[in-house]
């Protein structure tokens, strides 16, 4: 990504999203965003893109072994979930009381 301008994304940590592309594609299963990596344009989504990581024993983890964890996927492969419409939705930004709020294009509801 270019470092000149910081990109603005419609997805934040804690949002519910659906995966619209890739191995874990499921348009009817909403999942939670654990982390947004803005400078790389990636998101970590709960239960998506599971990798196995081999860890050595350490002071915190005395056993070591194989650990399963989520790896980041591209932010373009997820779409915000609209609970009212029960489907994925695009987002528009409106100004209310001098603050920008995210609004679902399908149902017209404000996304918290």
pLDDT tens digits, one per residue of 11-49: 999 999 999 999 999 999 999 999 999 999 999 999 999
* pLDDT interval class at 2 (50, 70, 90): low
Integer angstrom CA distances of residue 2 from 34, 40, 41, 68, 98: 24, 9, 11, 31, 29
Q: What does the mean pLDDT of the chain come to?
A: 94
Q: Please give the pLDDT value at position 6.
A: 85
User: 3-class DSSP state for residue 80?
Assistant: strand
Runs of H (alpha helix) within the chain: none
Q: Is the pLDDT of residue 61 over 90?
A: no
pLDDT at 1: 59
Please tell me the pTM assigned to this model: 0.85
Categorize the per-residue pLDDT at 69 as very low, low, confident or very high, splitting at 50, 70 and 90.
very high
Question: How far is the C-alpha of 24 from the C-alpha of 73, rounded, in Å?
Answer: 10
Percent of the chain at pLDDT above 90?
88
pLDDT of res. 112: 82
């Amino acid at each position: 990504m270019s470092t000149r301008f910081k990109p603005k994304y419609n997805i934040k940590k804690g949002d519910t999203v659906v995966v619209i592309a890739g191995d874990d594609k499921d348009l009817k299963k909403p999942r939670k965003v654990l982390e947004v990596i803005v400078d790389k344009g990636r998101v970590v989504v709960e239960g998506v893109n599971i990798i196995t990581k081999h860890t050595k024993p350490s002071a915190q983890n005395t056993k070591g072994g194989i650990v399963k964890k989520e790896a980041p996927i591209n932010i373009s492969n997820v779409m915000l979930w609209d609970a009212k419409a029960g489907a994925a939705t695009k987002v528009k930004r409106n100004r209310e009381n001098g603050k920008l709020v995210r609004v679902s294009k399908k149902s017209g509801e404000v996304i918290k």
